[in-house]
């Protein structure tokens, strides 16, 4: 396996390995040594980022390498050099390439032309690095999360699609509550059902049905970076009944935790007393972006993941 473009690229064993390794690197950040000594990793961000950029840059440094972070205006891509040519050239300098952009297919095309690992740092369709940190957080909180129940309440986003694939592969049940207009991409749903190793996937319009008995409740922003801003009013109207409030959390299992990929909008997708309350695990979850990014970079550069077909 050369690239991580979506969680379904991993086998069940690869996923378990990455989570074990991330947990170890979290306790022993230097345990990986310096496999990137004298090498660079190119990070290309066509959208803003706080967590992904800083955690991945830090992960590169912890592996002994140097991160080079650029935006569209700094590469000739912005002046119509092809993705294929860019990928071939950068692959001859850097040890790996990390890409955040809009169209998932562009990252896939880049990966096909690059000889080095390519990591999806968020596209409109998937956010695999986030899902790894989400699973590590569940694992820290519940021990082995296999058999646990997670509810996602809000519009289906890149984060939702990666969560669907990650929970399926890890044997966790997931209930997604979303209005009809914002249901998950059928392709991501089909893949999640195909790779499941246990657990159920329920897609419903009813937030209370989704959270009933859930061990964790997750939400994401109502308007993602790749969504047209003119959709804001329609999304707000449709999604207001899907806000995660203290009342909704009370319908989950006793001791249920709250998760959010961040950035969050208090008073929109989540009430302030939930995200800032005792059930919230959003900051440990964000902190887990670093060891999971370090584990992914280390494993891909070493070429040790089997990868799903
Ligand atoms: N959760 C996440 O990916 O955050 P950033 O957009 O800040 O990277
Ligand atoms: N769905 C959000 C996630 C941000 C980390 C977005 O794409 O903007």
Find the angle CA(218)-CA(221)-CA(222) to the nearest 5 degrees.
Answer: 115
ipTM: 0.99
pLDDT higher than 90, residue 186: yes
- Residue 309's pLDDT band (boundaries 50, 70, 90)? confident
Residues β-bridged to residue 19: none
Q: Which domain holds residue 228?
A: 130-286
Closest CA to 294 of 40, 44, 2, 58: 58
In-domain check, residue 21: yes
CATH code for the domain of 244: 3.40.50.1370
- For the segment 225-268, what is each residue's pLDDT rounded down to a tens digit? 999 999 999 999 999 999 999 999 999 999 999 999 999 999 99
Asked, for residue 1, whether it belongs to a domain, the answer is: no
Spatial contact of 30 and 58, defined as CB atoms under 8 Å apart: no
Dihedral, CA of residue 24, residue 30, residue 31 and residue 35, to nearest 10: 120
Q: Is residue 2 part of a domain?
A: no
CA 210 – CA 221 distance, rounded (Å): 18
Nearest ligand 1 atom, CA 54: 8
Mean pLDDT (the chain, rounded): 97
Residue list for the binding site for carbamoyl phosphate: 49-52, 76, 100, 127-130, 261-262, 289
Residues 108 and 153 in one domain: no
**Ligand 2 atom closest to 262 (CA):** 5
In terms of pTM, does the model score above 0.95? yes
- 48 by Cβ neighbours in 10 Å (0-12 / 13-18 / 19+) ranks as exposed
Q: Indicate if 137 and 183 belong to the same structural domain.
A: yes
- The strand order across the sheet containing 96-100 reads 66-70, 40-45, 96-100, 118-120
Rounded to an integer, the average pLDDT of 147-175 is: 98
Secondary structure class of 92 (helix, strand, coil)? coil
The predicted pLDDT at position 245 comes to 98
Pocket lining for ligand 2, CB < 6 angstroms: 157-159, 220-221, 224-226, 261
pLDDT band of 213, cuts 50, 70, 90: very high
Tell me, yes or no, whether 238 lies in a domain. Answer: yes
pLDDT of residue 53: 98
- Per residue in 77-134, pLDDT tens? 988 999 999 999 999 999 999 999 999 999 999 999 999 999 999 999 999 999 999 9
Domain count, the chain: 2
pLDDT above 90 coverage of the chain, percent: 98
Active site residues: 100, 127, 130, 220, 261, 289
């Amino acid at each position: 396996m050369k690239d991580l473009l979506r969680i379904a690229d991993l086998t069940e064993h690869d996923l378990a390995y990455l989570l074990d390794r991330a947990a170890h690197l979290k306790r022993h950040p230097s345990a990986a040594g310096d496999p990137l000594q004298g090498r660079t990793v190119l990070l290309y961000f066509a959208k803003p980022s706080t967590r992904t950029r800083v955690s991945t840059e830090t992960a590169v440094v912890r592996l002994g390498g140097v991160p080079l972070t650029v935006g569209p205006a700094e590469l000739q891509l912005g002046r119509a050099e092809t993705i294929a040519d860019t990928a071939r050239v950068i692959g001859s300098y850097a040890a790996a390439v990390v890409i955040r952009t809009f169209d998932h297919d562009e990252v896939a095309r880049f990966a096909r032309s690059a000889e080095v690992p390519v990591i999806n740092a968020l596209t409109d369709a998937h956010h695999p690095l986030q899902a790894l940190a989400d699973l590590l957080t569940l694992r820290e909180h519940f021990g082995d999360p296999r058999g646990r129940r997670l509810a996602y309440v809000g519009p289906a986003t890149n984060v939702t699609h990666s969560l669907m694939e990650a929970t399926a592969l890890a044997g966790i049940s997931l209930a997604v509550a979303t209005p009809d207009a914002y249901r998950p991409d059928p392709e991501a749903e089909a893949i999640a059902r195909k790779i499941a190793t246990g657990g159920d996937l329920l897609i419903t319009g009813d937030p209370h049905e989704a959270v009933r008995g859930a061990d964790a409740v997750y939400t994401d922003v109502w308007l993602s970076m790749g969504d047209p801003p003119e959709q804001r009013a329609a999304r707000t109207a449709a999604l207001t009944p899907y806000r995660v409030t203290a009342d909704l959390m009370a319908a989950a299992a006793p001791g249920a935790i709250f998760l959010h990929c961040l950035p969050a909008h208090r008073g929109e997708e989540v009430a302030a007393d939930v995200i800032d309350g005792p059930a919230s695990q959003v900051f440990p979850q964000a902190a887990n972006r670093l060891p999971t990014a370090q584990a992914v970079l280390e494993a891909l550069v070493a070429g040790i993941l089997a990868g799903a077909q």
